[in-house]
Amino acid sequence: MKNYLITGGAGFIGSHLINKLIESSNIICVDNFSDYYDPQIKRNNIKDFLNKSNFNLYEADITDFDQLKHVFEANKIDCIINLAASVGVRPLPNQEKLYVQTNIDGTFNLLELAKEYGIKKFIQASSSSVYGERTDGPFNEEMKIDNPISLYAATKAAGEHLCYSYSHLHNINMVCLRFFTVYGPRQRPDMAIHKFARLIAENKPIQMYGDGTTKRDYTYVEDIIQGIIKSIEYDKTSFEIFNLGSSNTVELAYLISLIDKNLNIRAIVQQQPTQNGDVSITCADISKAQRLLEYAPQVSIEQGVESFINWFCKIEEKDVTKKM
């Protein structure tokens, strides 16, 4: 059995990845259970794994080198999948330093330990935000990424550069994955689809930044997991960057209409000015991932939103039952 270290493993994408790998692999899950959103949500994400003998949980922060080193000393690791990050293109007030600490210093710590312990496979989660504000889409991996418009994007781009250097200097097989707006069951509560669904369900107004014409390449979480798994298996070159998206753009106004249609509740929309850090469009050119990884996204936005709302309604029913 392979031994996978998954950082941020209790989060949205991490817990889905563990669910896919747990039956055939040993999982070392590292998560700091930060309070960026309710830590109990993350604990619920992994509760079904806790009694499995091939699942080891470490409550540790990747910014703490000594904590991380203990994990490496205690476990055989074949592959590192770094999903831990300080997230969001709109930074919280006075929290800007966290982006640098987690997304750069934390990545550096993992790379240093990969070098020290001879780990030859490393998957780094990056982001479509590294492309910045541009209109010449679809975005491909050869485009320059030297104009980030958010601190998050800047630190994600820096993480990619660190990965390239360590791959070149220390013979680590490295894959950086640029995720395009991932959604689906267990999505973080601060992300648009989840936040909108909760407010619409409560008959509260939602804030729509801009006129509703901004577009995103929304990618269903199971398609992202498919791409990660194929990246783990990829060994044809020592370093690659891949876009993982759906290659279809969805207007914000249409997304809102899908959510209220599936909830069968009319959204109350309050238009707000465009926010700093937001881009007007993201669109993935996935031809490289299709060619080299045989990556093939399957879930349309209509199917994905329906699946998310089904999950959302189930957890809402549980919350109501608890309160009764």
Question: Which residues are marked as active site?
Answer: 152
Beta strands 25-31 and 55-59 are: parallel
Q: For the beta carbon of residue 146, count every other beta carbon within 10 angstroms.
A: 9
Could you tell me the two tokens for 25? 């692999």
The radius of gyration computed from the CA coordinates of the chain, to the nearest angstrom, equals 19
Judge contact between 43 and 17, C-beta under 8 A.
Answer: no
* Interior angle at CA 209, CA 208 and CA 213, nearest 5: 85
Could you tell me the two tokens for 80? 């590192």
| Displacement of CA 204 from its chain's centroid (Å) | 27
Judge contact between 25 and 229, C-beta under 8 A.
Answer: no
* Secondary structure (3-state) at 268: coil
Residue 261 to residue 267: CA distance in whole angstroms? 9
